[in-house]
Amino acid sequence: MYIFAHKLAVAVMVQQEDKILLVKEKRRGWEFPGGFVSDKEPLMEAAIREVKEESGIDIEIESFCGVYRNDKKSTCVFQFIGKAIGGDLSVDTECLDSGFFTIEEAMEKNAHSSFKVRIEDCFDKEKHPFIKEVF
């Protein structure tokens, strides 16, 4: 019998005034902060931890957007919206840079079509919560 198990991950669109937080990762370039959930770690705690580790920014979670499921990579990414409440921008060993950018600047930094969809999904609160399959 085959047991199908997905790894759980989180991503957060962190807002500060009219800008959003991005981190520049070594492999994927500019992206929302996030990462894998530790064993038995609550999802919201994982989201807050990942943002702090990758960017130095303290956040509070404002809402849950939905889930992106990728069966090929066996991952489920839980997308949240957060608000910056403190901390100072910094980077960890996984990231090369971090910063707050307007939506237009963010789109220029990451031209991948799935990134645009994720931003639109976060702002379209009528669709929350959603489950989307990604390939």
Q: Which of 36, 32, 28, 34 is nearest to 13 (CA)?
A: 32
Q: What angle do CA 18, 15, 96 make, to 5 degrees?
A: 105
CA distances from 119 to 2, 11, 79, 92 (A): 35, 11, 10, 24
Share of the chain above pLDDT 70, in %: 96
Residue 3 clears pLDDT 90, i.e. is over it: no
pLDDT digits (tens, 9 = 90+) for 12-21: 999 999 999 9
Average pLDDT value over all residues in the chain: 92
- Reported as a pLDDT band with limits 50, 70 and 90, residue 4 is low
Record the pTM: 0.91
- Which fold would CATH assign to domain 7-133? Nucleoside Triphosphate Pyrophosphohydrolase (3.90.79)
Q: Which residue has the higher pLDDT, 3 or 8?
A: 8
